[in-house]
Amino acid sequence: MTAADIVACLLPVWLTGGLAGWFLRGRSLSRVLPGSVRARREEVGTSSVSLEEVLDLLPEAAVLLDGHGALRFANIEAREAFGDTLGTIMRYPDVFSAMRHLNGVTVQASAEFVLTVPVRRVVRVDLRLLPEVLATGPAHILAILTDCSERDAVERMRSDFVAYASHELRTPLTALIGFIETLRGPAADDPAAQQQFLAIMAAQAHRMQRLIEQLLELSRAEMLEHRKPRGSMNAKQVIELVRDELSSLCAAKNVQLEAKAADIPVPGDQEQIIRVLVNLVENAVKYAGADGRPVRISLSAEQKILLGRPGVAFVVQDNGVGIAEEHLPRLTERFYRVEGSRNAPASGYGLGLAIVRHIVDRHDGCLEITSRIGQGTRCEVWLPCEREIRG
């Protein structure tokens, strides 16, 4: 088949909803291939443009498979969106089960499943048996991959809100209702009590606001986790921006913040990495001085090789009271808090480190937290300096 045939076939499809729309509606190639184009096949002659090159132009993730499910080709969008997980997706049992239904009579099938490694992703695979005129060698099955992770993240956020947030909101709401009743009743004519209760009510309202903000931030981090960042940043500039943002907080808490970094380019989302470091430093400020000792926090960035890959290690280290070893593996779980051991005056919701973990996973990085009671805590975020070349 010539390049003119392929382009003439697919162009009206793109204009009426994309390849996926044609693919899912199950229309055969002969129905969309104009007769005049078929008549010009001999006039145009043989072209070097292949089906694979045409698929590379599509905005959808598309792959070609043989009858055994072996991956024969993946277009640019598929490699960008799924990378090394493409082989795992094609070997998934649900995909094989759907593929067995393609027998010439049934020409399309679909499957949806959840990948948990390296991050949670919900993937829908729509399979279509190619007509003989389009089949290239053993590759005669076209698969369109759709990432449904954002939809899944929204659904899980709703369930988490009902399960966890409603529990966390119950206490401050109960306190607010109680104080309002007191102000309207026994304290209606007591200005001193009114001022005291209003201050407590303001603190409880701020607590609820902070919970909602963190839930929204966690939701955004989860929805973007499967999308690899395409921007770039400079490690030194990131450290300087974090230092400037937290200077007033550290001054108010009498915390000495030491910051240093080399001038190293790093691929990634600068705003998200700043948020990671801000969360880690805020945790150190909140907990490191819980026992009244002078607080010193170091914030640094330096080059580091990890698993044979060059990268940058952002380190936040304090001299605080530390965390017991049994808590370290669970610190990045959502709503997990270490109660009592750190004697913090105002504990959080256990969402900050969960947000950090999702952002680090998105950047193909590593998060390592080490701590010793009485000696402080060290948090290291390693990010690769070079994006992996994915074939």
**Residue of 67, 211, 65 whose CA lies nearest to 144:** 65
Query: In angstroms, what CA-CA distances link 16 with 22, 127, 129, 283, 333?
Result: 9, 20, 21, 52, 45
Q: What is the pLDDT of residue 91?
A: 86
- The three-point CA angle 183-185-190 to 5° equals 60
Sign, Cα dihedral of 351, 353, 357, 360:
positive
Q: What is the pLDDT of residue 339?
A: 66
Sign, Cα dihedral of 197, 203, 204, 205:
positive
pTM beyond 0.75: the answer is no
Backbone angle region of 250, left / alpha / beta, with phi > 0 → left and psi within -120 to 50 → alpha: alpha
> For residue 298, what are the β-bridge partners?
258, 317
Q: How far apart are CA 232 and CA 79, in angstroms?
A: 20
Q: What is the pLDDT of residue 139?
A: 78
What count of residues does the chain have? Answer: 391
H-state helical runs in the chain: 3-15, 18-25, 29-32, 35-39, 41-44, 51-55, 76-82, 86-90, 93-99, 149-160, 166-184, 191-224, 235-252, 270-288, 352-362
Q: What is the pLDDT of residue 30?
A: 40
292 burial (CB, 10 Å; 0-12 / 13-18 / 19+) is exposed
**Residue of 216, 164, 223 whose CA lies nearest to 361:** 223
By the 8 A CB rule, do 279 and 356 touch? Answer: yes
Q: What is the pLDDT of residue 289?
A: 67
φ/ψ of 128, rounded to 5, equals -140, 130
**For residue 131, what is the DSSP state?**
P
Q: How far apart are CA 76 and CA 83, in angstroms?
A: 10
Residues 6+ apart with CB under 8 A from 107: 26, 128, 129
Q: How far apart are CA 143 and CA 59, in angstroms?
A: 14
Q: What is the pLDDT of residue 388?
A: 52
Amino acid, res. 344: A
Tell me the pLDDT tens digit for each residue of 309-347: 899 999 999 988 889 888 998 899 888 888 654 444 445
Classified as helix, coil or strand, 80 is helix
Rounded to an integer, what is the distance from CA 174 to the centroid of its chain?
A: 35
Query: In angstroms, what CA-CA distances link 232 with 162, 199, 304, 380?
Result: 37, 44, 18, 20
Q: What is the pLDDT of residue 296?
A: 87
Positions of the chain with pLDDT under 50: 2-8, 11-46, 341-346, 389-391
Q: How far apart are CA 136 and CA 68, in angstroms?
A: 15
Measured from the Cβ of residue 100, the count of other Cβ atoms closer than 10 Å reads 11
